Structure 1
Amino acid sequence: MTMANNGQPELRDPVTVDVSPYARAQTFEGWGTSLAWWANVLGGWSEERQQEIVDKLYSAEQGLGMTIARYNIGGTKDANDPYLDYGKAILSYQSEDGSWDWSRDANQRAILQKIQTTADSPIFEAFSNCPPWWMTCSYDPSSPDGAAGCTTGGPNGGDNLRDGSEGDFARYLVDVLRHFRDEWNIVFRTLAPFNEPVAGWWKYRITKQEGAQILARQQELVLREAFDALRNAGLHETSLSASDESFVEMARATWEAFSDETKARIPQVNTHTYNDFSYDPTAFRQAVHADGKKLWMSEVGFENGEHPVPDSRSMSGALKLARGVAKDLKTMQAEAWVYWQAVESDVSTWGLIFAPFEHNEKESYRMYKQYYALANYSRFIRPGSAVVDVQGECSLAAVSADADRLVIVTYNESETEPAMHRYRLRDLPDPAFCGKVRVYRTSADENLAKLEPIALQDGTFTAEVPPASVTTYVIEGLPR
């Protein structure tokens, strides 16, 4: 790094970043999180503490302003299953004999109900990690050890939905959705029957969480049965989404393996975006859009890199998150962005919020930097916004639904080098557009800190982006 005579970093000439507020791509539906498994634990906390957490995530005034929640329909038999980690046993509402117990999964449901009354116009998606235990390939009614029908994966890591159970599995999921609608007034917009179904890591008694390999051929059978079951149950407000594969490359392969008949039953394609950042989602996006489907980024998480003690100043996970958001919304053009576990325990740094799941009688929690970095996006790019064109992989831009506000978010991954950017708004109806740019920053020492505004002159402003930071710029009164 070049140093000036006063010992301070010497900034290079600013890099011009062109922003085109009128070159619009997808309309963004919102931010969200999956409820497995944190809601299964925190739903047992005090009512006051539960609401605090929900407000941190779903309140537009006090929190991240999320609007999407993915509810996990469980398949496990025993809350104390020894092959599942603490909190990860999401119980099946139905038993092998066909009877139902709607008192199960009360904790996760309690969080969902609080989200329903907290979020602005919430969108609910139901998803399954594994079929009910008696539909799995590992199920053996004569097993003497009580662990038959393991929901962590199939024998030898193989398939874990028994042939011939596709219809039963689909109807189980739909029956749960119908009960939620009729008895609890909760309507799911979409049903996602699978979770990372071709990943290859769901193994019998090993994986420590629910999971099932279900390859494309069998996925098609489930999807056709689920489509018919939704119609037969009168759930016309619920449609199907698939297939929630782990990586974009897997998602593309599965989607292209589906017949046109199957694709016609699926209005929304979900993918996770784990793996490294070298993937190019362009071909996948083009395939999905060519088929006229909505595209969601339905799960991802970013580790903070400080096991097992979290570092409250570490920006490691926050910068990975920022990079993921920018790529998923700019290059893949995802219409929603959903985090995996918004709350994680002391054995992991993947969450937005740190809260020990066990031995936490005080119900204590605190935020990771990932939380504030996501706030740099979610507090300002609201549902209904249009993602617009901006230069550079480090910047993301969007215009509000009323076309009045332009939001630009830029991250700097360098640990030592600041960056100087000259942001230039293109194709303005009024080239002399002037005003103030509001600025918010997250860094090792700042948590969505509101900074001094910057002058906007003739549609241009210049700003320094410090090392290891995420900065949001907000411009009101965009010319039309």
Structure 2
Amino acid sequence: MSLTTLLTTSLLVSATLADQTFTINPSTNWGKWQGWGTSLAWWAKAFGTRTDLSQIFFSTNLITYNGQSVPGLGLNIVRYNAGACSTNTYGGTHMAVSPSIQPSRQIDGYWLDWGSTDPASSSWNWNVDSNQRTAMLNAKANGANRFLLFSNSPMWWMCLNKNPSGSADGSENIQSWNLQDHATYLATVAKHAQTSWGITFESVEAFNEPSANWWKANGSQEGCNFKVATQSAVIGYLRTALNNQGLSGMQIAASDENSYDVAKATWAGLTSTAKSQVNQIHVHGYQQGGGDRVGVYNYAQSGGKTLWNSEYGENDATGKSLVSNLILDFRWLHPTAWVYWQVIDGGGWGLIDGNNDAVTVGAVSQKYYALAQFTRHIREGMTIIDGGGDSVVAAYDSSKKKLVIVAVNWSTTGQYFNFDLSRFTSGVTNGATVLRWSTQLGTSGERYGSYASDTKISGTKFWSWFGSNVIQTFEVSGLSF
């Protein structure tokens, strides 16, 4: 028997005895994918003028960075923060500054004082926050096509203690007489962005983790607690303010709660009127492996609302946490978009290590390449389908008849994965090539390795060897069902 025959036989036996087989089910429909994104504040305040970084995050080109060729992530969603800070004094009143806040986390707001609602008056300054705006425009130039406006805190002068980091004890910090002003502020920014910046926000979000009690006067960033009843009121004011600006088609998102369980409780507590005015339910993924993802999804489905994970982040630079929680979201939350918090940050939080106050950037993390396994392949317009298991994500592009599979091996040992395509009615061609990309999760190892010829369909299946903590992406073309 020849060496080639021995190798072929060995592979066939390994595939037959594969540790796991996943049957892809194209008849499921967990939503049309709308995209991947990032929040701009705070990293964009520091690096908003860096065109190379914009290309890395928002294009799918190969970009030279620190002497290396880095595959662009192809993000298409920008989450723009309307700031809450200013240094002016008005009527003898000025902003109170938290002793713990870092300068990079103080985002200048446009409405400086309560003297006038007229955006052309001296109460407004449209020249501040130029770096974050530049980052947004650069993102658009590199392919971003969905823009969100959100607020961490109302303008400082709308706060009870004039501190946009929060109250002394973490309780609600917006003055009751400024609820409508907060809505007016966001609607005015949205209108100005459309007419002066060429940016039309898809949605406006008036809160950021509003039920949290950690938004305190000595906090490290902007933040504000809103009671659920107050949220309902602000949502109504925001709808009116947007309509008054001629933005009746602009959607409202709510409530960007920190966890899945709190998101459920907040949604249940909103008034029926407020719920009818919300178009998108946004939730953050900081509960990670816990929480009732299914419950949030059911609320969105029953209400006919779009569901996004609008913020996720952690300090695990290996990519293991990101991949684990992202797959859980695909499997149980079924969002149609997913947004990473800070693409540049220190302590493992960033996809690229950086210091937003020192304005320095460093290495690209393994987490970056792990995310690339998803973002470069699961693209806007694809349908998210059932990948057949808890370690597999699948998406189908009906226009290109292309199947994308992303899978990870969490076992401490290597193993073969079989992927069964028998539920596709045509295009499963014996011997056809399957494109493959691979990243090693951890502190080092393979980074988005590309393989164009080593994986073939045999019958209605194909298989691949997965080392421990390896994530791989596969593309199969020509499939129909």
Normalising by the smaller structure, the TM-score range is 0.7 to 0.9
Of 32, 38, 45, the residue aligned with 2:37 is 32
2:390 is equivalent to residue 393 of structure 1: yes
Secondary structure of the corresponding residue to residue 283 of structure 1: helix
Residue 243 of structure 1 corresponds to which residue in structure 2? 255
2:164 is equivalent to residue 175 of structure 1: no
Residue 14 of structure 1 corresponds to which residue in structure 2? 19
Residue 278 and residue 359 in structure 1: after superposition, are their counterparts in 2 closer, same or farther (change >3 A)? closer
AA at the equivalent of 2:31: Q
**Is the Cα contact below 8 Å between 1:21 and 1:406 reproduced in 2?**
no
Residue 382 of structure 1 corresponds to which residue in structure 2? 379
Residue 469 of structure 1 corresponds to which residue in structure 2? 470
Of 89, 101, 106, the residue aligned with 2:125 is 101
Query: What are the Cα deviations for residues 94-153 of structure 1, in whole angstroms up to 9, with x where unaligned?
Result: 112340011111110110111111115x10000000000111121xxxxxxxxxx11111
User: Where does the alignment leave 5 or more consecutive residues of structure 1 unmatched?
Assistant: 1-9, 139-148, 306-314
Displacement after TM superposition at 1:18 (Å): 1.0
**Which residues of 2 match residues 251-330 of structure 1 at below 5 A?**
251-304=263-316, 315=318, 318-330=319-331
AA at the equivalent of 2:322: L
**Which residues of 2 match residues 41-52 of structure 1 at below 5 A?**
41-43=46-48, 47=49, 50-52=50-52
Output the CA distance in 1 between the equivalents of 2:26 and 2:429: 13
**Which residues of 2 match residues 437-448 of structure 1 at below 5 A?**
437-443=434-440, 444-448=444-448
Residue 401 and residue 324 in structure 1: after superposition, are their counterparts in 2 closer, same or farther (change >3 A)? farther
Residue 422 of structure 2 corresponds to which residue in structure 1? 426
AA at the equivalent of 2:134: A
Of 163, 166, 170, the residue aligned with 2:176 is 163
TM-score (norm: length of structure 2): 0.87
Query: What are the Cα deviations for residues 257-280 of structure 1, in whole angstroms up to 9, with x where unaligned?
Result: 112211111111100011240323
Displacement after TM superposition at 1:411 (Å): 1.4
Displacement after TM superposition at 1:294 (Å): 0.5
TM-score (norm: length of structure 1): 0.88
Query: What are the Cα deviations for residues 166-197 of structure 1, in whole angstroms up to 9, with x where unaligned?
Result: 10110011111111111111110100110000
Of the structure 1 ranges 158-167 and 446-455, higher mean CA displacement relative to structure 2 is found in 446-455
Identity of aligned residues (%): 30
Output the CA distance in 1 between the equivalents of 2:73 and 2:433: 24
Residue 220 of structure 1 corresponds to which residue in structure 2? 232
Of 98, 102, 105, the residue aligned with 1:88 is 105
**Is the Cα contact below 8 Å between 2:439 and 2:472 reproduced in 1?**
yes
Output the CA distance in 1 between the equivalents of 2:288 and 2:140: 34
**Is the Cα contact below 8 Å between 2:54 and 2:139 reproduced in 1?**
yes
**Which residues of 2 match residues 93-172 of structure 1 at below 5 A?**
93-96=110-113, 97-98=115-116, 99-120=123-144, 122-138=145-161, 149-172=162-185
Output the CA distance in 2 between the equivalents of 1:406 and 1:134: 52
Output the CA distance in 2 between the equivalents of 1:196 and 1:359: 28
Output the CA distance in 1 between the equivalents of 2:428 and 2:252: 48
Residue 211 of structure 2 corresponds to which residue in structure 1? 198
Secondary structure of the corresponding residue to residue 77 of structure 1: coil
Displacement after TM superposition at 1:22 (Å): 3.1
Residue 332 of structure 2 corresponds to which residue in structure 1? 331
**Is the Cα contact below 8 Å between 2:18 and 2:418 reproduced in 1?**
no
Residue 340 and residue 42 in structure 1: after superposition, are their counterparts in 2 closer, same or farther (change >3 A)? same
Output the CA distance in 2 between the equivalents of 1:287 and 1:261: 16
Alignment RMSD = 1.9
**Is the Cα contact below 8 Å between 1:381 and 1:407 reproduced in 2?**
yes
AA at the equivalent of 2:40: L
Residue 458 of structure 1 corresponds to which residue in structure 2? 459
Output the CA distance in 2 between the equivalents of 1:475 and 1:455: 10
Displacement after TM superposition at 1:30 (Å): 0.3
User: Where does the alignment leave 5 or more consecutive residues of structure 2 unmatched?
Assistant: 1-13, 63-71, 89-94, 117-122
**Is the Cα contact below 8 Å between 1:78 and 1:89 reproduced in 2?**
no
AA at the equivalent of 1:85: Q
**Is the Cα contact below 8 Å between 2:184 and 2:238 reproduced in 1?**
yes
Secondary structure of the corresponding residue to residue 78 of structure 2: strand
**Is the Cα contact below 8 Å between 1:159 and 1:212 reproduced in 2?**
yes
Query: What are the Cα deviations for residues 15-61 of structure 1, in whole angstroms up to 9, with x where unaligned?
Result: 11111123222111000000010001112xxx5xx111011110033
Secondary structure of the corresponding residue to residue 333 of structure 2: coil
Secondary structure of the corresponding residue to residue 473 of structure 2: strand
Displacement after TM superposition at 1:477 (Å): 1.1
